[in-house]
């Protein structure tokens, strides 16, 4: 779902809520609104002594909610778009001068959906309802060079009083959120986050928990966070009307993130035969132990174990598959390395992290590609000649072949009328096909080009052939025929020339 234009909120804080009625894209609404929403993330504290580290890959969302990140109240923002422009310019300067950056703590506020199973009478089994929600990540360390000076902390009292969204306040003091900067500035980059929150059911404890799945579109990072509800229902506590959970004085459900799993690369493309690294990082709260790491592959309805690790034991089901060293693994890096990729390695990889209490996962889509090889040949000397363009060894299947004719001094012109052979597939799974074209000869220097486009290529491949003019071919044929005729006559003449008869031998005797 798309976010619309902002509705006015608390005028004292400058915090505005977003309506859902406008279905236009962010570029159609104008970049300023998206930047303004992102500017509303909150700054607090000063420097953090530790920097964020590893993270994990995402779970599949049932429905992608096209919703952006947002913060709390900002400093006076009458010229909101101008502030956003200044922020983006500052961020570009940060990228250019990384040594000047320092850690600051900010509140990262994300627009989300709370996903619940539909319990209404007559609803289909497995159907879900989605209601508006906010996720407030409190005091997250983010790299900054004072570009966030105008940003203040999120205040729950700034929410609209009529039908406010469910607000989850999440402390991140126990774990690291290494992709916080990408979440904070997603709108500045013209991207709208997908964020879904759902119940997380624990058998070992009766504590209520939730899991939040956040993804930056366009190949951005993906983060899953397991959040434990901190407050128990107390006498006289105000409960949320539907969740039946106690609310803070600001009207928020208070939680703490105890496990996060992230991936920096949810979508990967690698060439056949190369090696791939599938990123999966995680962070667990103190007191929780890492008990297992598992990578599984799903493709075309089939699932299989690729690699598993438990304390002191590891098992590689795919030849050559490996994790980082156990030291790095225990530090939060569960990335998988796959050498010498084949087409069988393509598919959806699930990185699952298991602790003594929780379990979360991320998904990495791996696409294996093979670049085509192009060869152009002239097979028929008769007029008009036939050109054959062989395209071999490519994957995936879709390929575009274009024929282009160009005369000297003219412009290239696409040529129609080509035919194709049947598709061929090698034992390795790559494809080959041939394209045929009757080439009408033209002036001297006329060329035909076979151009091949494929997803594995940054630029199309081209192979060009020169087709001789008709007169040159005719003159050559006459000269060749005349030469053969003369040679034939000479050969026949030599065969019929009479050989000289031998003379009788005479014995000369001296006279007496």
The low-confidence residues of the chain, meaning pLDDT below 70, are: 1-101, 118-126, 145-147, 150, 157-162, 187-190, 203-206, 232-236, 380-382, 470-512
pLDDT for 153:
79
Q: Find, among 11, 133, 113, 103, the residue nearest to 62 by Cα.
A: 113
Contacts of 93 (CB under 8 A, 6+ apart): 145, 147
Report the greatest alpha carbon distance in the chain: 170
pLDDT for 203:
67
Q: Collapsing DSSP states into helix, strand and coil, what is residue 360?
A: strand
pLDDT for 443:
84
pLDDT for 484:
64
Q: Which two tokens stand for residue 5?
A: 């234009």
pLDDT for 205:
66
pLDDT for 141:
87
> How far apart (Å, rounded) are the C-alpha atoms in residues 192 and 438?
51
> How far apart (Å, rounded) are the C-alpha atoms in residues 199 and 190?
30
Scanning the structure block, which residue is given the tokens 């000047």? 100
Scanning the structure block, which residue is given the tokens 């590893």? 54
pLDDT for 66:
37
Decide: 41 and 107 in contact? Cβ < 8 Å. Answer: yes
Does the global pTM surpass 0.75?
no
Buried b (16+ CB within 10 A) or exposed e, 455-469: ebeeeebebebebee
For residue 17, the tally of other CB atoms under 10 A from its CB is 19
Rg (CA), the chain: 36
Q: Find, among 459, 359, 452, the residue nearest to 404 by Cα.
A: 452
pLDDT for 507:
38
Q: Which two tokens stand for residue 43?
A: 């700054």
Scanning the structure block, which residue is given the tokens 């010229």? 79
């Amino acid at each position: 779902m798309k976010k619309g234009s902002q509705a006015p909120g608390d005028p004292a804080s400058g915090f505005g809520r977003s309506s859902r009625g406008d279905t236009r894209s962010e570029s159609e609404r104008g970049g300023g609104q998206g930047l303004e929403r992102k500017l509303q993330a909150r700054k607090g504290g000063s420097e953090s002594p530790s920097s964020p580290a590893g993270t994990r890959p995402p779970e599949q969302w049932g429905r992608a909610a096209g919703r952006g990140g947002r913060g709390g109240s900002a400093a006076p923002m009458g010229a909101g778009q101008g502030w956003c422009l200044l922020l983006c310019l500052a961020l570009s300067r940060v990228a250019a001068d990384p040594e000047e950056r320092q850690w600051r703590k900010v509140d990262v506020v994300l627009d989300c959906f709370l996903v619940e199973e539909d319990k209404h009478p007559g609803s289909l089994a497995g159907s879900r309802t989605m209601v508006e929600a906010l996720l407030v990540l409190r005091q997250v360390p983010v790299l900054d060079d004072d570009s966030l000076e105008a940003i203040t902390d999120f205040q729950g009292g700034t929410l609209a009083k009529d039908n406010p969204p469910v607000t989850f306040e999440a402390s991140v003091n126990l774990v690291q959120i290494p992709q916080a900067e990408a979440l904070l500035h997603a709108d500045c980059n013209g991207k709208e986050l997908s964020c879904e929150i759902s119940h997380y059911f624990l058998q070992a404890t009766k504590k209520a928990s939730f899991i939040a799945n956040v993804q930056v579109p366009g190949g951005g990072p993906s983060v899953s966070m397991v959040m434990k509800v901190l407050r128990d229902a107390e006498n006289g506590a105000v409960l949320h009307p539907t969740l039946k959970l106690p609310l803070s004085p600001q009207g928020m459900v208070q939680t703490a993130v105890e496990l996060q799993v992230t991936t920096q690369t949810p979508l990967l493309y690698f060439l056949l035969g190369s090696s791939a690294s599938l990123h999966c990082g995680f962070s667990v709260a103190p007191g929780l132990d890492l008990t297992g790491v598992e990578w599984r592959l799903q493709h075309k309805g089939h699932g299989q174990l690729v690699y598993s690790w438990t304390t002191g034991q590891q098992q590689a089901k795919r030849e050559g598959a490996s994790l980082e060293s156990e030291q790095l693994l225990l530090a939060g890096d569960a990335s998988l390395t796959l050498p010498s990729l084949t087409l069988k390695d393509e598919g959806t990889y699930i990185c699952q992290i298991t602790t003594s209490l929780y379990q979360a996962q991320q998904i990495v889509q791996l696409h294996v590609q093979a670049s085509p090889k192009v060869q152009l040949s002239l097979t028929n000397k008769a007029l008009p000649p036939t050109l054959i363009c062989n395209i071999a060894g490519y994957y995936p299947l879709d390929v575009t072949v274009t024929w282009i004719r160009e005369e000297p001094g003219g412009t290239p012109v696409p040529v129609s009328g080509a035919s194709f052979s049947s598709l061929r597939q090698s034992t390795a799974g790559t494809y080959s096909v041939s394209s045929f074209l009757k080439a009408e000869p033209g002036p001297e220097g006329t060329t035909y080009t076979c151009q091949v486009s494929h997803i594995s290529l940054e630029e199309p491949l081209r192979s060009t052939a020169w087709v001789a003019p008709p007169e040159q071919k005719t003159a050559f044929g006459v000269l060749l025929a005349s030469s053969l005729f003369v040679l034939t006559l000479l050969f026949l003449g030599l065969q019929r020339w009479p050989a000289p008869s031998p003379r009788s031998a005479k014995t000369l005797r001296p006279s007496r």
